[in-house]
Chains A and B, each alone.
Chain A
Amino acid sequence: MAGMVVYLDHAATTPMLPAAIAAYAEAMSVVGNPASVHSQGQNAKRMLEESREIVATSLACDPIEVVFTGSGTEAINLGIKGLFWARAPRRRILVPGGEHHATLDTVEWLAQHDGAIVEWIPLDHEGRIDLGALADAIARDPLDVALVSVIMANNEVGTLEPVAEVAALAAANGIPVHVDAVAAYGYVPVDFRTLAAAGVSALSVSAHKVGGPVGIGALVLGRATTVEPLIHGGGQQRKVRSGTQDVAAAVSFAVAASAITVEQRAARQPEGAGGVKTVRLAALRDRVIAGVARVAPGAVLNGDPTTRLPGNAHFSFPGCEGDSLLFLLDAAGVSVSTGSACQAGVPEPSHVLRAMGRSEVESRGALRITLGHTSTDADVDALLAALPAAHAQALVAGLADRVPGH
């Protein structure tokens, strides 16, 4: 560990599992294109497909349903664009307002370039999709709906979404549903078989959020679902995602995925209220929530207070700029996030908080603290020790730089 740095931004990326690093390095030294017919090719193919099976197990789907991609973002693009194109000439895409940019920007692109009609489904004050509004939107013209896309756990505020209910509403009208499970995977059970039974057609995940490497994600594509590919070439992976497959990344991903499977099996034991990691993270998170309330009075917890990701604590600090707090905590050796998207490092007011009905000013003083497999009580102690001074100073800095003529 380098110095005293306290890493509390696991939702951005989490440290790779040591076993995943070792497996990655070892697999990289193996030569062979899994599409080659000779022995080396067959060996590479074996490593790849074993990895696919392990990843499939962690997601409760069939191996043939796992399409490896270069990232979670690519998986989401493939799921949404692929379904939209496959469902032509249907035009409507129904999406909640607080989705990740991978979804927002994809559907906006389809609206601008491909005739899609995007309809934003409102969120409640805790960031949960308004199911009534979704039902109404579907009912307006169900035959023209190409797809519904919904996030499983909000990557900013951590609220768990009623994905099965969303799927049921859509399935009743024969509408496919894509689920963005990038933030949920590894933290709450992602059971594709159950979700598919409820009506989910495709689901996206990413390896680096769960202790695997950056550079590989997966789209789980139900065997009955067709999507148009984004990338054309050698016809790998159900002809849905051409390109030589990254065996080493898949092997490393599989190591992280198997840890998830172990965790979820533990969670399903009758005496367990959750897996070891989940229970431990939820306890740390609740320490963060209680501690912030104590040392930074006025801070508001965003998202559902209980139906939320075990590692996520997201706050608004009225009167503070999120990026001031981030800077001050960073200077104190604590890495956190404002949680919102950046363009050239510029934090925008959180579109998630805006979609939850917060004002633009409230949407700026946000801070996301996310825990992961390496987090400890000492990390939480360090955060709570640094926060009072940072909070006081950020309050002084205030929103002065926003107020003209000050």
Chain B
Amino acid sequence: MSGGVDSAVAAARAVEAGHEVVGVHLALSRMPGTLRTGSRGCCTVEDSMDAQRAANIMGIPYYVWDFSERFKLDVVDDFIAEYAAGRTPNPCMRCNEKIKFAALLEKAMALGFDAVCTGHYASILTDADGNKELHRAAAWAKDQSYVLGVLTADQINHSMFPLGATPTKAEVRAEAAERGFSVANKPDSYDICFIPDGDTKGWLGERVAPVTGNILDREGNTLGQHDGAVAFTVGQRKGLSIGTPAADGKPRFVLEVRPITNTVVVGPKEALAIKEIAGNKYTWAGLAPEHPDVAFPCHVQIRAHADPVPAVAQVVSTTAVTGVLDSVELRIIPNEPLAGVAPGQTAVVYVGTRVLGQCTIDRTVSAVPVAVTASVSTDTVPTASVPTASVSTATVPTASASPVPVNA
């Protein structure tokens, strides 16, 4: 129970459904703030008190469990490391994967609980054979199935999302008010909870030392200097401060961040279009496809608030493309090239409303080939085998040798 309206109503519904419910607030910081300020941040003492008051009203016990150390290691430090490695991580997914449905669930099961119940907007349905499936929420605008895409079958079997079928958030707020919860009109929380002022760049700047490096074009020519590759994200246009204009006079965008050589690659907007996404850290949210190595139609969503786009996906065992021996990856080919994709993001694969699985993106292929005369930059994996496309990867080859789904 975060102290917000969703988890309070979810708990109340679980109580009414006849479950024996205990309210647990996760302490994710050793030094929580005292008061909530606006809609930013969470896990303040005030939030904990809000959660406790809701638990009091529904008459259930309430405890604070301290996951601050796990959270720091698995979410905060991971967030910093991912940025430092030139990727764009989603800490909320990492928190679901490592804390809420892992550390918390494990501890709860060991203490005799059967499931973790949260206020996420998503649905768990059961197929004809009794297998649990993760689906989008009825309220499309509030649907949070994307950030739950990291859940595995085992985790889904021990999860409950009582808000999944609720058509609107307004209805949840009305129900909270009816139940007498003080949090009925509490603002939604946005942003990253451990960066309370919302200044992600500034926060990262204090933790990842910026080092001056080169800005390159796709052909490998140096166009200028940057003050630290980590400050750039794929798709960024502003703040490049390149003196010479592009030959075609068009604006240039960040196409790639290469932390190993501390370089930033820029190019025309068209080059941001991605025709292939792949990642070798993939999981299935429930029953795995019977033949995952046979390409199947699906939709892929690459950000929490992005629209899903039609695609085909398959699991490919290969040594040639990534240069990593015995690599097994989930490869997703959108029907139309897709913009706004960066390594580190999570690609969630849907079939209809069902969340089938996900991968952390570690490889993308641009739809626009590099000019034939291009000199090939040295820190990417071999491009010779794919002469018609530039391959972008932020993965250190030796660090990506996990061929099996993670999150066991």
B61: chain A residues at CB < 8 Å are 330-331
Cα A345 to Cα B112 with chains together (Å): 21
Expressed in whole angstroms, the minimum distance between the Cβ of B30 and any Cβ of chain A is 7
Q: Are B111 and A400 in contact (CB-based, < 8 A)? A: no
In this complex, which of A344, A347, A402 has the most chain B Cβ atoms within 10 angstroms of its Cβ?
A: A344
Q: Are B111 and A393 in contact (CB-based, < 8 A)? A: yes
Instruction: Please name 29 pairs of A and B residues whose Cβ atoms are closer than 8 Å in the assembled complex, sorted by A.
Output: A324-B110, A344-B25, A344-B27, A344-B44, A344-B45, A344-B64, A345-B27, A345-B48, A345-B63, A345-B64, A346-B30, A346-B32, A346-B64, A346-B66, A394-B111, A397-B106, A397-B107, A400-B103, A400-B106, A400-B107, A401-B65, A401-B70, A401-B103, A401-B104, A402-B70, A404-B73, A404-B98, A406-B102, A406-B103
Cα A3 to Cα B120 with chains together (Å): 36
Question: Does B293 make an interface contact (CB < 8 A)?
Answer: no
Expressed in whole angstroms, the minimum distance between the Cβ of A248 and any Cβ of chain B is 28
Closest 7 CB pairs of A and B: A397-B110, A345-B64, A346-B27, A344-B48, A404-B73, A344-B45, A401-B103
A344: chain B residues at CB < 8 Å are 25, 27, 32, 44-45, 48-49, 64
Q: Are A401 and B67 in contact (CB-based, < 8 A)? A: yes
Within 8 A of A (CB), among B95-133: 98, 102-104, 106-107, 110-112
Q: Are B45 and A401 in contact (CB-based, < 8 A)? A: no
- If A346-B66, A404-B73 touch, whether A324 touches B106 (CB-CB below 8 Å) is no
B191: chain A residues at CB < 8 Å are none
Cα A327 to Cα B52 with chains together (Å): 15
Within 8 A of B (CB), among A357-400: 393-394, 396-398, 400
Within 8 A of B (CB), among A324-352: 324, 327-328, 330-331, 342-348
Cα A273 to Cα B322 with chains together (Å): 81
Question: Does A108 make an interface contact (CB < 8 A)?
Answer: no
B219: chain A residues at CB < 8 Å are none
Expressed in whole angstroms, the minimum distance between the Cβ of B360 and any Cβ of chain A is 15
- Looking at chain B's contact residues, the main secondary structure is helix
Cα A397 to Cα B49 with chains together (Å): 26
- If A330-B61, A344-B27, A344-B48 touch, whether A400 touches B32 (CB-CB below 8 Å) is no
Residues of B that sit less than 8 Å from A by CB: 25, 27, 30, 32, 44-45, 48-49, 52, 61, 63-70, 73-74, 98, 102-104, 106-107, 110-112
- Additional pairs, 15, CB under 8 Å, beyond known A331-B61, A393-B110, A401-B104: A324-B107, A327-B111, A330-B61, A343-B32, A344-B27, A344-B44, A344-B45, A344-B48, A345-B63, A346-B27, A346-B64, A393-B112, A401-B65, A401-B67, A401-B103
Q: Are B25 and A345 in contact (CB-based, < 8 A)? A: yes
Question: Does A286 make an interface contact (CB < 8 A)?
Answer: no
Chain B, Cβ-Cβ closest to A348:
B30
Q: How many residues of A contact B (CB 8 A)?
A: 24
Contact with B along A226-269 (1 / 0, CB 8 A): 00000000000000000000000000000000000000000000
- Looking at chain A's contact residues, the main secondary structure is helix
Question: Does A304 make an interface contact (CB < 8 A)?
Answer: no
Cα A346 to Cα B68 with chains together (Å): 10
Cα A342 to Cα B70 with chains together (Å): 19
Question: Does A62 make an interface contact (CB < 8 A)?
Answer: no
Q: Are A397 and B111 in contact (CB-based, < 8 A)? A: yes
B102: chain A residues at CB < 8 Å are 406
Q: Are B107 and A401 in contact (CB-based, < 8 A)? A: yes
Chain A, Cβ-Cβ closest to B104:
A401
Chain B, Cβ-Cβ closest to A394:
B111
Cα A214 to Cα B111 with chains together (Å): 34
Q: Are B65 and A323 in contact (CB-based, < 8 A)? A: yes
In this complex, which of B30, B32, B65 has the most chain A Cβ atoms within 10 angstroms of its Cβ?
A: B65
Q: Are B64 and A401 in contact (CB-based, < 8 A)? A: no
Cα A328 to Cα B74 with chains together (Å): 27
Chain A, Cβ-Cβ closest to B74:
A404
Q: Are B63 and A400 in contact (CB-based, < 8 A)? A: no
Chain B, Cβ-Cβ closest to A342:
B64
Cα A64 to Cα B173 with chains together (Å): 58
Which one of B63, B68, B73, B98 lies within 8 Å of A323 (CB-CB)? Answer: B63
Q: Are B110 and A398 in contact (CB-based, < 8 A)? A: yes
Chain A, Cβ-Cβ closest to B406:
A405
Cα A344 to Cα B49 with chains together (Å): 8
Q: Are B111 and A324 in contact (CB-based, < 8 A)? A: yes
Chain B, Cβ-Cβ closest to A360:
B69
Chain A, Cβ-Cβ closest to B64:
A345
Chain B, Cβ-Cβ closest to A324:
B111
Chain A, Cβ-Cβ closest to B105:
A401
Chain A, Cβ-Cβ closest to B32:
A344
Chain A, Cβ-Cβ closest to B72:
A404
In this complex, which of A323, A327, A330 has the most chain B Cβ atoms within 10 angstroms of its Cβ?
A: A327
Expressed in whole angstroms, the minimum distance between the Cβ of B48 and any Cβ of chain A is 4
B63: chain A residues at CB < 8 Å are 323, 327, 345
B110: chain A residues at CB < 8 Å are 324, 393, 396-398, 400
Cα A203 to Cα B315 with chains together (Å): 73
Cα A327 to Cα B113 with chains together (Å): 12
Expressed in whole angstroms, the minimum distance between the Cβ of A198 and any Cβ of chain B is 40
In this complex, which of A330, A343, A397, A398 has the most chain B Cβ atoms within 10 angstroms of its Cβ?
A: A343
Cα A398 to Cα B98 with chains together (Å): 17
Cα A327 to Cα B32 with chains together (Å): 22
A347: chain B residues at CB < 8 Å are 66
Cα A328 to Cα B64 with chains together (Å): 14
Cα A150 to Cα B347 with chains together (Å): 59
Cα A319 to Cα B246 with chains together (Å): 63
Expressed in whole angstroms, the minimum distance between the Cβ of B29 and any Cβ of chain A is 9
Within 8 A of B (CB), among A267-320: none
In this complex, which of B45, B63, B66 has the most chain A Cβ atoms within 10 angstroms of its Cβ?
A: B66
Cα A345 to Cα B51 with chains together (Å): 12
Cα A396 to Cα B111 with chains together (Å): 8
Cα A103 to Cα B369 with chains together (Å): 68
Cα A351 to Cα B32 with chains together (Å): 18
Cα A174 to Cα B13 with chains together (Å): 66
Cα A185 to Cα B256 with chains together (Å): 68
Cα A274 to Cα B211 with chains together (Å): 71
Cα A244 to Cα B30 with chains together (Å): 38
Expressed in whole angstroms, the minimum distance between the Cβ of B92 and any Cβ of chain A is 18
A327: chain B residues at CB < 8 Å are 63, 111
A331: chain B residues at CB < 8 Å are 61
B44: chain A residues at CB < 8 Å are 344
Within 8 A of B (CB), among A117-160: none
B107: chain A residues at CB < 8 Å are 324, 397, 400-401
A342: chain B residues at CB < 8 Å are 64
Q: Are A401 and B48 in contact (CB-based, < 8 A)? A: no
Cα A264 to Cα B146 with chains together (Å): 67
Which one of A323, A328, A401 lies within 8 Å of B106 (CB-CB)? Answer: A401
